[in-house]
Amino acid sequence: MQDLRKRTWWADWGKSLAKYWQLYLLLIPVIVYYLLFKYKPMLGVQIAFRNYQLRKGMWLSDWVGLKHFLRFFSSYWSWTIIKNTLIIGFLSLIFCFPFSICLALIFNELHSQRFKKTMQTITYAPHFVSTIVVVGMMTAMTSPSTGVINKLLVSLRLVDEPIYFMGSSKYFRFMYIYSALWKDGGWNAIIFISALAAIDPSLYEAATVDGASRMQQLIHVTLPSILPTIVIMLILESGKVLNVGYEKAYAMQNDLNLAVSEVISTYSYKRGLEAMEYDYATAIGLFNSVISFTMLITVNAIAKRASETSLF
């Protein structure tokens, strides 16, 4: 019976290949891309368990087991780095994710198409600005001597003297999250705007006939309709909590705010590329990936049980 099922499966696949061979041909570049740039680099993960030496190469370097992981967890900075990463990651999830949803809902309520398209363009545009340029803009605007923000605060007598925002640990996380809202809030709202556009207009018509106000339509029609999209995006975003991009954190980092700005990605970058400790940096990166994958699986399981919507 199993052999018969196997032959039937191969026969069906062969018929599909013969009928849709053009589509399978288009799939080849995608498969090659993932094999070369996604799966093949995974072989390098073994460096995390080796005493990697350039002259010996990856395959001939000696195995050291969990030495690099133990070194990281026993180091002075390890728990501070993990804490900083979790705080920034969860703050980004708490503020940036709902912000994109709210922005999409606001756009959905706009009646003037010209004004709606203009506002969408304005909120999308910052996404295409380089991260380094964004940090440079923040540095210039918050400069104690020439920054427009400090001049405004002093002129309004909200502060007695200019504040060095970029050099203060107290303001680092606020500036990180605020810049993320400005840069990517509009871009991240695109998926929710698409979900809103797919809602059947007859649902709103029926709600209007029943006497529902705009707020009631929002609560009972709009939000339930896009709830599956929200859940899926929340699952995906939860897997990125520890993946705090090193570009902006590293660019905003200095000796004065290092206690709150040092995250896993920046520490791994410094140890790997600056100190050339490739094995140690790989171990840190592998730990980060395993925790992120675990969080993704956990949130997916919770979402599947709570809302019957999940990735898999």
pLDDT tens figures, 176-209: 999 999 999 999 999 999 999 889 889 888 988 8
pLDDT of res. 5: 54
Q: Which residues, in sequence order, are CB contacts of 296 under 8 Å at separation 6+? A: 235, 236, 238, 239
> Amino acid letter at 42?
M
Residue 300 in this model has a pLDDT that exceeds 60: yes
pLDDT tens column, 101-152: 999 999 988 888 899 899 999 999 999 999 999 999 999 999 888 889 989 9
pLDDT value of residue 281: 92
The domain over range 78-307 is classified in CATH as 1.10.10.60: no
pLDDT at position 3 is 52
Q: What average pLDDT score do residues 48-71 get?
A: 90
Q: Name the nearest CA neighbour of 217 among 188, 196, 191, 194.
A: 196
Hey, where are the domains in the chain?
78-307
pLDDT at residue 88, rounded to an integer: 93
Over pLDDT 90: what percentage of the chain?
46
Question: In whole angstroms, what is the distance from residue 75 CA to residue 163 CA?
Answer: 33
Q: What is the mean pLDDT of residues 53-64?
A: 88
pLDDT at 58 (0 to 100): 85
pLDDT in tens, 266-287: 999 999 888 889 999 999 999 9
Long-range contacts of 220-225 (CB under 8 A, 24+ apart): 222/105, 222/108, 222/196, 225/195, 225/196, 225/199
Q: What local confidence, expressed as pLDDT, does residue 4 receive? A: 47
Q: pTM score, two decimals? A: 0.85
Residue 2 pLDDT > 60, yes or no?
no
Per the CB < 8 A criterion, the answer to whether 191 and 267 are in contact is no
**Rounded mean pLDDT of the chain?**
88
Summarised one tens digit per residue, pLDDT across range 66-87 is: 999 999 999 888 999 999 999 9
